[in-house]
Amino acid sequence: MNNKTKIDITQSKRPKTKDIKVIDEYMNERVFPITGELPLTIYLDKKEIVTLMTLGHYPEALVIGYLRNQGIIDNLNQLSSVHVDWTVNSAAVTTNNLDVSKIDNKLRHKVVTAGCGQGTTFGDAMEDLKRNNIKPKKIKQSTIYDLLKLLHDKNEIYRKSGAVHGCALCKENKILDFVEDVGRHNAVDAIAGHMWLNNIEGTNKIFYTTGRLTSEMVIKVAQMNIPMLLSRSGITEMGLNVAKETNVTLLGRAKGRHFLVYNGSENIEFDSIPDPRPEGSSDIWKRR
């Protein structure tokens, strides 16, 4: 990030990926890269504003852009410094005597948008979840394949426009509820609402999403006491850490007869291993 202003700005960065061991559909252990994800708490003149979940590539620009888009600042001259310190996952922003009363007013009227990322109360949610006891659920590989076929047929809007995320609540090889929305968090919240209204327990269910397995997504599924999360997309490092903390089984890159088990491989019964790939054929997920 080029800084052509007089603001004192750090230039911190985080690694783009981290290699972890996963289990694929052939029961083979593989080394696969995952994206880093970290909580970043913004302090404005020592006042805590929000915690954002981020990949951490350009955190200073993220902080400045967030403050601008929220209407908290409207001119770079209002900023004196932006210091990101990953040892405490915080961004300390110092202003040039910004009117704090305007900040309070903005925060009282803050609207969480329908986008994929949003502010989060990460610490509070994790403390609550650690008191839960999510019991693991066993599932057959053949059942996963049956579900993926049904879910592919359900993703109607996604196939037509590609501009939405789909989420589903499943039991064995049946889809109980399916919602598409412009943001995956909207879709999962709608399903959570349906479950609550209809007194549906999550303990023996499977949750599916087209979106990434971020920490927020894993937290939401754990809050519903759902033991298994299945996605056609990949995972972030914080998403994996939260899954390990909450005992949620995670399967990603799931499409057709392919998947990767990021957490809880002992809960998968490999009863339908595909035919071997032709020698020399490329791995489909390396092209995603």
Do 156 and 105 share a structural domain? no
Beta bridge partners of 41: 51, 90
Closest CA to 236 of 255, 254, 256, 216: 216
- For residues 248 and 264, is the Cβ–Cβ distance under 8 A? yes
State the residue range of the domain holding 218: 139-287
In angstroms, rounded to a whole number, what is the distance separating the alpha carbons of residues 275 and 137?
26
Is residue 186 assigned to a domain? yes
Do 188 and 105 share a structural domain? no
CATH code for the domain of 65: 3.10.20.10
Is residue 118 assigned to a domain? no
* pTM of the predicted structure, to 2 decimals: 0.77
Do 260 and 145 share a structural domain? yes
In angstroms, rounded to a whole number, what is the distance separating the alpha carbons of residues 186 and 167?
9
Is residue 258 assigned to a domain? yes
Instruction: Encode pLDDT of 209-267 as tens digits.
Output: 988 898 888 988 998 899 999 999 999 888 999 999 999 999 999 998 999 999 999 99
Instruction: Encode pLDDT of 72-123 as tens digits.
Output: 888 889 999 999 999 999 999 999 988 766 666 666 544 333 344 444 445 5
Other C-beta atoms lying within 10 Å of the C-beta of residue 151: 22
- Count of domains forming the chain: 2
